[in-house]
Amino acid sequence: SQELEQSPQSLIVQEGKNLTINCTSSKTLYGLYWYKQKYGEGLIFLMMLQKGGEEKSHEKITAKLDEKKQQSSLHITASQPSHAGIYLCGADMVAGNQFYFGTGTSLTVIP
């Protein structure tokens, strides 16, 4: 079973278009983390959300965590080829000491 469901699995967008990636859990999350992975490389930390309703932005990327702390979205505005890669959400649950990752979203941005 997958603790974190991520959608869509892949996205192909034209440069300049906006896009959204979703991450959903059936359990309440203690902390939600977004990472980006370039093909063949390690994970780079993007943002962390802890409070219900929290929203954070960095450059053209905005992440939100819902009030129930079970769903998060990552929104990219005016996508660029440099945004291409695999985006993964990760979370630690309120109960337990483990960390879980979603299955990832592969993003391709066509110039």
| Choice from 26, 99, 108, 110 touching other proteins (CB under 8 A) | 99
75 CB neighbour count, 10 Å cutoff: 16
Q: Quick check: 45 binds other proteins (CB under 8 A)?
A: yes
**100 HSE (CA, 13 A, CB side):** 22
Q: Is the CB of 20 or the CB of 101 nearer to other proteins?
A: 101
Task: Number of residues interacting with other proteins: please give it, by CB under 8 A.
Answer: 26
Q: Quick check: 104 binds other proteins (CB under 8 A)?
A: yes
| Choice from 42, 59, 82, 111 touching other proteins (CB under 8 A) | 42
**Is residue 11 a contact partner of residue 75, using CB atoms and an 8 Å limit?**
no
In angstroms, what is the minimal distance from the CB of 83 to other proteins? 19
Query: Can you name the residues that pair with 12 across neighbouring β-strands?
Result: 108
User: Hey, CA dihedral for 56, 49, 86, 8, is it positive or negative?
Assistant: negative
